[in-house]
Amino acid sequence: MPTPRLIIHGGAGAITPTNLPYNTYLLYSASLLEVNRSTSSRLAAGASALEAATEAVRMMEDNPLFNCGKGAVFTRDGRVELEASVMTTNSYHKRACAAVLLSHTKNPILLAKQMLIRGQTDGSGSSNGGGGDPSGGAGGAQGHCVLGGPTVEKLAEEWGLEMVEEKYFWTRKRWEQHKRGLGMGVKGMEENEKMAEAEAEDERDEKGYWWNEEGWDGKEYLPQGTVGCVVLDREGMMCVATSTGGLTNKLSGRIGDTPSIGAGFWAEEWLEGRHKQLDVQAPLVSLVPDGLNDILAGCLPGLRGYNLLAEDESHDGKRISNHVRAVAMSGTGNGDSFLRTAATRTAAAMARFQPGRSLASAVQQIAGSGGELQRSAGDRWGKTGEGEGGIIGIELINGRGKIVADFNCGGMFRCWIDGEGNERVKVFKEEYPSKTL
C-alpha cells in the first residue's frame, strides 16, 4: 500500500512581497497549515482520498481569506456564483462531478461530493417519465456529471446540505474590490450594498476576526484563483477537489475551468507495462499484400497488433509485471486559459502517452514559465492576467506518490508534507524573503 500524500493550494496570481506583506503571508500560511494538518490526521486515521480532499476544501470554503465559499468574489451584478468539482481515479461510476452557479449552498464542494457518491445509484430508477422518480433516478442527479443553478441547489437542500442566504458570502474586502473595479453604476448595486452592510454589522468569525472592520486598500493582494486539494490514500486511490468564486466582476452566468472536466481538474489511472506482438494481426494488415508487411510496419507500427501483457504474464522466459500508474491535478489562475488549453487533461495525456514522461515534466510544460498557458495569452501576456496560473498534483508510480507543483505567475499559495515528513508552505518559487524585511 502506498504512503498517503496530499498537497493543497489557495490560489495563484500576480503576487509579490510588496502586495503580500509578511504578516499577511503568515496569516495565509497559518490557514494552509491548519488545513494540511487536519487533512493529514484524517488520512492517518484511514480516511479515503475523497473524504480527505473534500474536507480540506470545505475548510477553505469556510475561511474568508480564500476565493471560494465565504471569501468568494462578486460578479459584475454584485452577486455570488460559486463552482466546485471533485474527481477520483477509481471506485465511483461517474468519476467526476461538478456543481455551478451556486448562490445558496454553503459548501459547494460537499454538493459535488454528494453528486459523485449518489451517482452509484443513479439510473437505477426510471428517469424518463412513466411514473418514475421525478428527480431523475435513485441518486437524484440522474446520470449527469455537471449540474447548475436552482436545479442542483434544490437537490442540495433535499440531500440535507446546509443552505444559506446569499448575504452569508459577503465580505468587506471582496465588496470593496468589486466596487473599485466597477464603481457604483451597476444595476442592483445599491440594493446589494444595503443587504451586505446589514449582514456585516457585528459579524465576527469563529476565530474572532472582525471582518466588517477590515477594508481593502486597493494594493494588498487578494487571491483570485481557485482553491484545491489533491490526495493519495493508503488504498492507492487519488482524489482532486476544487472550489472557486471565479473571476472578480465576471459576467453573471460565466462558467470557468473549476467545474470543467479536464480543464481545471483531472484524475485518472491506467495500467503500464511492456507490450508484445500478437499472433492475430491488426485489421489493417489484411489489406496489405504479402511481403510488404515488414517494410511498411517499420514506418507504420500500427499495422502490427499489440496488446498489454496481463499481470505477471511471462514473455521470452522473463516474468513481466504491469503496475498501476495514476495522476491527479488541480489548477488555479485564469480559468479561461485553462479552458482553452484543456490544461490538466493535456498534462495527464502527456504523462500517459509519451514514454518516460513524468507528470512533473508535463505540468511544467503546461503551467511553468513559457508553457502552454502562458503561450495561450499571446501578446496579451503580462497585461490582462490572461494565461496566468499554476497546477498542483500527485503522481502515483511504482507504488509511491510524488508531489508536483508549478506556476508561471508571481506566486501560488501551496502547502504539503515533503518526502522527509516536513511541513512545507510556500507562495513563491523560493522561500518568502522575510530576512530582507
SS3 of 211-262: HHHCCCCCCCCCCCCCEEEEEECCCCCEEEEEEECCCCCECCCCCCCCCCEC
Quote the CA–CA distance of 384 and 313 in Å, as a whole number: 55
Quote the CA–CA distance of 21 and 28 in Å, as a whole number: 11
The string of DSSP letters for 77-102 reads: TS---EEEEEEESSS-SS-EEEEEEE
**Cell digits for 404?**
508536483
Q: Using alpha carbons only, how large is the chain's radius of gyration in Å?
A: 24
The residue annotated as part of the active site, out of 54, 88, 89, 226, is 226
Listed in sequence order, the residues at least 6 apart from 430 whose beta carbon sits closer than 8 Å to its beta carbon are: none
Q: Which helix (H) or strand (E) holds 29?
A: helix 22-44
Write the DSSP symbol of residue 124. Answer: S
Write the DSSP symbol of residue 319. Answer: E
> CA 204 → CA 79, 171, 306, 354, distances in Å?
21, 11, 64, 52
Closest CA to 330 of 231, 431, 224: 231
Q: Looking up cell 437542500, which residue turns up?
A: 157
Residue 35 CA from chain centroid, whole number: 16
Q: Roughly what angle, to the nearest 10 degrees, separates helices 108-118 and 49-61?
A: 160
Listed in sequence order, the residues at least 6 apart from 44 whose beta carbon sits closer than 8 Å to its beta carbon are: 4
**Cell digits for 102?**
451556486
Tell me if residue 226 is catalytic: yes
Would you please indicate which residues are annotated as catalytic (active-site) residues? 226
